[in-house]
Structures are given as C-alpha cells and as structure tokens.
C-alpha cells in the first residue's frame, strides 16, 4: 500500500472562477457605477445594449438562456452593474468580468466539491475527490475539474468521482469545477511544505460564442473528437489558456491531455491529428488539424484542416480546408476550400466555396462558388456568385448578379447586370438580346443570336446557301456596342465562320464588321454595313471570293485571300 498524506483543504469558494486569477476581486465592469432613468416595457437585450455602449464593453450571453426579448420596467437605478444585473435577471445567473466582456451565464444549480491530496511513495501527487449537487446531494457526472496553471483536467465519472495527477513540487493548487447550468466552484489546496510556492500564471482569453455554427456540431469533425472532449468544451465554455507548444498523437492523446481543447498554442505538432482551442504560430498535422477557434500564421495538414473561427496566414491541406468564419491570406487544398468569408488567395484542385463575401482570388480546377465576390474567380468548369460579382473566367459558364468586372466563358454567362460579358451566349437581364436574319456578299442567308451587356455581346449563328454549290456555315463571334442610342446604333463585330458542304469542311473566314443600325420600333431594327474578311481554303476552287478582293496568296496548303464585302439584315430585339 502506498504511503500518503492528506492535505488540509483551506479555501472553498463557490461563487468565483479561477479563470480570473489575481483579478477575482477587481471586477472593473461589474463594480462600475451605473445610472439609468425610468424604463417602461423595454426588452432586456436593448437595455443591456445601451449599458454596454456607454460603458465601452460587451455583454456575452446565450440567447437560449438569457430572456433578451422579455420586457421589463424599472423606476430608475443608480448603483453597481452587478446589483443591476441581479435585479434584472435574478439570482439564478452568474456574472463574470473579463477582457472587455461581461459574461452572463444561467446557473440555477449549485454544486460542491470535496477532495484530498495523496502523495505516493514515488513522490507522485494525486488529487482525488467527488462532485455533488449542493441541494439534492446527487453525484454529478461529466463535470470538468481542472487546474488552470498546470493545464490539466478531468471529467467526473458516473459516481461524480475524479482524479488528477500533479507534478511533484506543484505547490498550492486551485481546482475549478464547471458544469452546464451549474455555477462555477473553486477549491484552493495549500501545500504543507511549499505554501509560498510561486507559479507563473497562464494567460487566458475569452471568445464570445457569437451566432455561428459550432465546429463540434459538424458530423465529420465528430468522427475525430471524443464525446468527453465535447462535454469538456461545453463545461468550460469560451475561456481559453495559451501555451508555448503541444504534441499530440491523436486528439485524445496530447501533452495537454483532456485540457487540449481549451489551450491556444504557439507551436502544435500532431503526429496523426490534433484538437486544440486554436493556433497563434505554426501547426502541422500528419493527417489533420482541428481548431475550435482561430488559427494565425501557418497550418499544414496531410489531409484536412477544420477551424471553428478565423484563419489568418497560410493554410494548406492535401484534401480540404474548412473555416467556419473568415479566411485571410492563402488557402491551398488538393480538393476543396470552404469558408464563410475570404480575403486573399484560394487555390483548390476541385472546388472553392465561400458562403459569404470573397474579396480575393479563387482558383479552382472545376468550380468556384461565393455569395458575393469583389476579386476574380478562375475555374476550369464554372463560377457562381449569388450577389455582387467581380470578374469571372471559366472554361464553360459563369453565373453572377451585379457584375462589376468582366465575365469570360467559352459557352455561357448569366447575370442581372454585366457590361463586359465574353461568351457565345450571355443572358444578362439588363442587357440586349436579338435574333437577326441577314445576307452578305456571298449570298449566304444568316440567322444569328446576339446576346450581351451594355458594352460587349456574343454571337452564335448558322447560315446556308442553296445554288449550284450548296453550302452551310456556323458563325461564332464577339461584338461591341460602339454607339447605342434609342434609334441609332453602331456595332463592331469579330466573327469566325466555318463553311462546309455535306462532304467536307470547305473554308474558314475571319472577319471584322461595322454595322450601323436604325430602330423603327422597340423591337425592330435594320442594319447594313461593310466587312473585311480573310479566307483560308485548302483548295482554291472551294473558296467564294465575291466583293472587293485585295489580295490572293497561293501555297502548298491552299489559298489565303483578303476581301471586303457588305452585310445587311433585320433584327428582332428584346
């Protein structure tokens, strides 16, 4: 049996949190003198907002537990903020003052802690104890017991028991117990030998919960996070310690143990994967990295990175990066980058998806998607922006709303407004679309669809000629509205035309056209204008060269000729 000594428990504090350290009794904002006039039927949330604006701090609370919409009336008040909050919310709430926030927690229940310290023959210090409900005496399961300076923690078992192993020479220790719906309870244990032992206090930060979705609710993330770690995070809430480094084999096997999800590290090395509060430096994971809050500077993973807050710096993963809030800097992924907002550069082998505004550049092998863009989207297949749009370049299609830049696609551009769409078909709500029937100097009959924006438009059409030598043609082109008045217009076009018959491709024409037009009605326009065209034919006998021929050059590949002509027709415009 190991020898042991029991250490006397000297201080038991049930209303204060160890997180405040030396500042426990220096509650700056809670002790602030508040004076408010008469209030009649105002929401609690509005009253809290007015107080925080005048006091230059913020209230942090869960809307599900604080009745912010409840109406209150008050004849007027002058006194401390702590007493005012007690009047407004009652005694079932706990108030904490930290880092510019006053945190409001619904804590209708109370708990108590009993503990003893055992020092074994191996000079190992073990703190054992149990947690129970202060009223009913029932043992409390899954309560978090932790020492904030040593960064160690444990969860109580089904009987409310816990055990913490301390390093030898730890001196006095302060234990805190946290559990949802219970008020935090602290217990100080003073060492027999080193009562005046000095420890360097850890730094702590507070992050308000906000309205966003929690990372722990992600089903994919839950595959790598144990239920005990999730319960730990729920108990300890949004208070986070900082540490120089941590090393993990898996999320459950870390140098910080169960406390890992509450620690923001400067250096984090995860051999397989890790689960931390955040990174303020560099993190590398053999397979994955999971951060509850923010990541700054550098994060590298063989497979994926999951960040519940913001990313600032470089984030790279073999498969994908998922950021719940904003990403500022560079994201590189073999398959996909996903975030709520982005500013910087996103590069993905398959997909980039920004749920909100993207103010940088998205480069994807297949597809880019954003609610709003201010930069450039470049994709092999397509781009999609459901709000204000910058510039889009893709191999197949672009979809935007109010496009401020340009759209370039091989096939189709879609937008509410887009002045510079470059594609065969451009479906722009505020733009012009038309179908034209026309003829030219070669006596082809053309049927062309023109569609575009205020400045640029695309052309796709077909043509045919029935005479001694029947021929057909396919026309693709781009045009610009040089002058666009209510009656008179002037368009310039570049058109490529492939001419063929039933047996072979005959020749190719590249031409420039200048087409003045006159609009008789809202939907009817006539046009006529000159063109200059270069013809390439493999066989001189295949080429039709009517009009004014400037030059002919014969070589072993056939004939190249330059000639001028005339195009005229009628358009139906909408």
Percent of the chain scoring above 90 in pLDDT: 47
pLDDT at position 19 is 38
433-573: CATH architecture = Beta Barrel (2.40)
Longest distance between any two alpha carbons in the chain, whole Å: 115
Task: Tell me how far apart the alpha carbons of residues 111 and 25 are, in angstroms, rounded to a whole number.
Answer: 21
Provide the pLDDT for residue 465: 87
Token couple for 557: 């590949």
73, 41 contact by CB (below 8 A):
yes
Q: Are 274 and 268 in contact (CB under 8 A)?
A: yes
Give the pLDDT confidence score for residue 262 in this predicted structure. 85
Q: What is the mean pLDDT of the chain?
A: 85
pTM over 0.95: no
Q: Are 552 and 534 in contact (CB under 8 A)?
A: no
What is the pLDDT, as a whole number, of residue 18?
36
106 is written with which tokens? Answer: 């619904």
Domain residue spans of the chain: 1-202, 215-424, 433-573
Q: What is residue 196's predicted lDDT score, i.e. its pLDDT?
A: 39
Token pair for 211: 């309205």
Q: What separation in angstroms does the CA of 16 have from each of 12, 132, 201, 219, 347?
A: 10, 18, 17, 35, 48
Domain 1-202: give its CATH code. 2.60.40.10
Residue segments in the chain with a per-residue pLDDT below the cut of 50: 1-26, 193-200, 211-212
pLDDT digits (tens, 9 = 90+) for 248-278: 998 878 888 777 788 899 999 999 999 999 9
Q: What's the pLDDT at 176?
A: 87
């Amino acid at each position: 049996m190991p020898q042991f000594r029991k250490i006397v428990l000297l201080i038991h504090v049930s209303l204060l949190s160890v997180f405040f350290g030396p500042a426990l009794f220096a509650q700056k904002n809670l002790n602030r003198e508040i004076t408010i006039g008469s209030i009649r039927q105002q929401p609690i949330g509005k009253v809290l907002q007015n107080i925080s604006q005048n006091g230059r701090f913020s209230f942090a609370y869960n809307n599900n537990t604080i009745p912010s919409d409840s109406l209150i009336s008050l004849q007027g008040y002058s006194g401390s903020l702590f007493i005012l909050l007690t009047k407004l919310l009652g005694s079932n709430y706990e108030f904490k003052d930290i880092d510019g926030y006053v945190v409001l927690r619904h804590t209708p229940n109370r708990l108590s802690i009993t503990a003893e310290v055992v020092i074994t023959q191996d000079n190992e210090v073990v703190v054992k104890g149990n947690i129970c409900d202060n009223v009913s005496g029932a043992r409390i399961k899954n309560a978090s017991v932790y020492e904030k300076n040593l960064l160690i923690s444990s969860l109580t078992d089904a009987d409310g028991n816990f055990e913490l192993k301390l390093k030898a020479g730890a001196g006095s220790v302060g234990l805190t117990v946290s559990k949802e719906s219970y008020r935090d309870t602290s217990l100080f244990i003073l060492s027999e030998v080193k009562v005046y032992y000095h420890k360097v206090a850890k730094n702590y930060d507070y992050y308000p919960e906000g309205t966003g979705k929690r990372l722990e609710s992600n089903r994919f993330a839950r595959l790598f996070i144990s239920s005990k770690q999730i319960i730990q995070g729920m108990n300890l809430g949004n208070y986070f310690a900082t540490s120089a480094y941590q090393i993990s084999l898996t999320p459950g096997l870390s140098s910080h143990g169960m406390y890992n999800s509450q620690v923001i590290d400067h250096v984090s090395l995860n051999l397989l994967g890790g689960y931390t509060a955040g990174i303020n430096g560099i993190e590398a994971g053999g397979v994955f990295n999971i951060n509850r809050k923010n990541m700054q500077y550098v994060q590298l993973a063989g497979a994926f990175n999951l960040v519940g807050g913001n990313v600032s710096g470089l984030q790279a993963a073999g498969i994908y990066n998922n950021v719940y809030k904003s990403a500022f800097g560079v994201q590189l992924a073999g398959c996909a980058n996903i975030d709520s907002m982005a500013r910087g550069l996103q590069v993905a082998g398959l997909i980039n998806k920004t749920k909100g505004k993207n103010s940088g550049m998205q480069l994807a092998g297949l597809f880019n998607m954003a609610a709003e863009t201010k930069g450039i989207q470049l994709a092999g297949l397509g781009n999609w922006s459901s709000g204000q749009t910058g510039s889009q370049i893709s191999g197949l299609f672009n979809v935007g709303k109010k496009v401020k830049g340009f759209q370039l696609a091989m096939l189709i551009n879609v937008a509410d407004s887009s002045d510079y769409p470059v594609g065969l078909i451009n479906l722009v709500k505020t733009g012009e679309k038309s179908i034209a029937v026309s003829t030219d100097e070669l006596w082809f009959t053309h049927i062309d669809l023109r569609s575009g924006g205020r400045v640029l438009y695309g052309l796709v059409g077909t043509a045919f000629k029935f005479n001694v030598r029947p021929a057909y043609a396919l026309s693709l082109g781009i045009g610009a509205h040089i002058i666009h008045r209510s009656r008179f217009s002037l368009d310039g076009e570049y058109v490529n035309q492939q001419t063929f018959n039933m047996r072979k491709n005959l020749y190719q024409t590249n031409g420039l056209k200048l087409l003045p037009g006159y609009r008789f009605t809202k939907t009817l326009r006539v046009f006529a204008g000159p063109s200059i065209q270069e013809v390439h034919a493999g066989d001189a006998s295949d080429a039709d060269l009517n009009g004014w021929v400037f030059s002919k050059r014969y070589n072993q590949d056939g004939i190249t000729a330059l000639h001028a002509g005339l195009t005229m027709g009628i358009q139906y415009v909408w």
